[in-house]
Structure 1
Amino acid sequence: MAKKDELGRRGEDLAVGYLQDRGLVVLSRNWRCRDGEIDVVATDRWRLVVCEVKTRSNFAFGAPAEAVTWQKAARIRRVTEAWLTAHQVRWCEIRFDVVAVLAPPGGPVSFQHYEAAF
Structure 2
Amino acid sequence: MAIHNELGKKGEDLSVEFLQKKGYKILDTNWRFKKAEVDVIALKNNTLAVIEVKTRSTNYFGNPQDFVTQKKIQLLVEAINEYVISKKLDVEVRFDIIAILKNKSTFEIEHLKDAFLHF
Q: How many percent of aligned residue pairs carry the same amino acid?
A: 38
Normalising by the residue count of structure 2, what TM-score does the alignment of the two structures yield?
0.90
Is the 8 Å Cα contact of residues 50 and 95 (structure 1) preserved in structure 2?
A: yes
Partner of 1:116: 114
Secondary structure of 1:58 counterpart: coil
Answer whether contact 1:35 1:78 (CA < 8 A) is retained. no
1:84 Cα deviation from its structure 2 partner: 1.6
Partner of 1:98: 97
Partner of 1:22: 22
Which residue of structure 2 aligns with residue 49 of structure 1? Answer: 49
Give the CA RMSD over aligned residues. Answer: 1.3
Structure 2, gaps ≥5 residues long: none
Amino acid at match of 1:36: A
Q: Give secondary structure in 2 for the equivalent of 1:42.
A: strand
Q: Which runs of 5+ in 1 are unaligned?
A: none
TM-score (norm 1): 0.91
Distance in structure 2 (CA, Å) of the matches to 1:79 and 1:35? 9
SS of residue in 2 equivalent to 1:103? strand
How many residue pairs match? The answer is: 116
**Equivalent runs, 1:68-83 vs 2, <5 Å:** 68-83=68-83
1:59 matched residue in structure 2:
59
